[in-house]
Amino acid sequence: MTTVSERISQSAFDGSRLRVVLMLDLHEGAQQRFLEAYEYLRNQVASVPGHITDQLCQSIENPSQWLITSEWESAPPFLAWVNSEEHVKMVQPLHGCVRNTRSLRFSVLRETSNVSAPAPDAHAKGRLQAAPRVGDGVVRHALTFTVKPGSESMVAEILAGYSSPESQVDDTTRLRRTSLFMHDNRVVRAVEVQGDLVAALRHVSEQPEVRAVEEAINPYLEQDRDLTDPNSARVFFTRAALPAVHHIGTDGPESRDARRHALYYPAKEGCGMALARLLAGQDELAADDPTCPIEGSTIFQRDDIVVRLVDLRADLDEIDPDLVIGVRGTRKRGVFKRLMDTDEAGGLTTDRELAHFLARSDMDLITDRRAPDS
């Protein structure tokens, strides 16, 4: 019998096939226009590396409800495509047709085929997930954007001063925690949601106190946005999305005493996914050590931006820097340096150099707020 680890975990790097489900609710009368836009889109998607197949389905009960399912060899090629500027431009024609969307991503764990059908080509289609992962019912996501150089202190003051919105969204969804960090002029907001992430983000964006903060920082953003315009808001949040590609934690309640840090890793061009994969492997190894002071870690990655959130059971200066950074071992450090932006990585040979890199990559904590009962 297969032994399943009781650690809480999620990962885009287990090599299993990926099934993506996109649910859409169309505007009345937009069906034909949507179908024409999809025909153009599907021909573009077919050439994306890692894509296997997709299907477009229309509800037999409500013709305004549509479903697109796609299969990919694994999660990384899909994430690289869906988070790209190419994808943002590619799906633009669909926006005027769609009232609401929801995207779900699943690793393929098991499948059943007709006994008379040819066996699937396992090599061409990737592999099935070996064993189910243990979850904690929490969805982790982050947003990142940059502000105009010179405005950092003003933005930090605005972001630190907002009033927390009501954590309970509905009977099944609750905002558990929001952690906000800055590194130079880059802002990263990480959220933990129990239930429906989209419903929670929509709930937060509608709160007056949050709207006021968003309006206050608008003049300082490097990328213009108009959150009162649905299309502008959709494009901004699509570009700002920083998905969680790996998480590992203990199976039990989080410690209130754990210190939360966010480390910023600017990767060399084209190396963001490989860097995130390297850090994920290191975190998996660290989790096998019961004496490890890292209670949990989450890696967020988009293009060449990699952010690793770590919850520590001790103060940062009490832990080996290489363990906190995620580069324990001479060979790992060498690979890490090759994947990192050269100017940022610097030397990673001595303890002093490691400590210096850690100090540079440790993001400034602006605010870290939990729901009262989390």
DSSP 322-355: HHHHT--SHHHHHHHHHHB-HHHH---SSHHHHH
Say how many CA atoms lie within 13 Å of 290 toward its Cβ: 0
pLDDT band for position 265 (50/70/90)? Answer: very high
Q: Output Rg (C-alpha) for the chain, integer angstroms.
A: 21
Type of residue numbered 171: D
pLDDT mean over 43-61: 92
Distances (CA, A) of 56 to 33, 39, 105, 280: 14, 10, 16, 34
At residue 254, the pLDDT reads: 63
- The counts of H helices and E strands in the chain are 13, 13
**Domain assignments of the chain as residue spans, ordered by start:** 17-107, 138-370
Tokens of 131: 């064993």
The answer to whether 83 and 303 have CB atoms below 8 angstroms apart is yes
283 vs 11, 47, 80, 276, 297, CA distance in Å?
Answer: 11, 34, 22, 11, 7
pTM of the model: 0.89
Report the percent of the chain where pLDDT is more than 70: 92
The CATH number corresponding to 17-107 among 3.40.50.2300, 3.30.70.100, 3.40.190.10, 3.30.70.370 equals 3.30.70.100
Q: Please tell me the least confidently modeled range out of 46-60, 301-315, 321-335.
A: 321-335
Domains 17-107 and 138-370 share a fold: yes
Q: Is 179 exposed, middle or buried (0-12, 13-18, 19+ CB in 10 A)?
A: buried
Mean per-residue pLDDT over the chain, rounded: 87
Any idea which fold 138-370 has? Answer: Alpha-Beta Plaits (3.30.70)
Which pairing describes strands 241-249 and 8-11: parallel, antiparallel, or unpaired? antiparallel
> Mean pLDDT over residues 337-359, rounded?
80
> Please, how many CA atoms are within 13 Å of residue 202, restricted to the half-sphere of its CB?
13
Tokens for 245, please give them.
């590609």
Give the pLDDT confidence of 120-148 residue by residue, as tens digits: 554 455 678 878 888 888 999 999 999 99
How many Cα atoms occupy the beta-carbon half-sphere of 337 within 13 Å?
A: 15
Structure confidence at residue 122 (pLDDT): 45
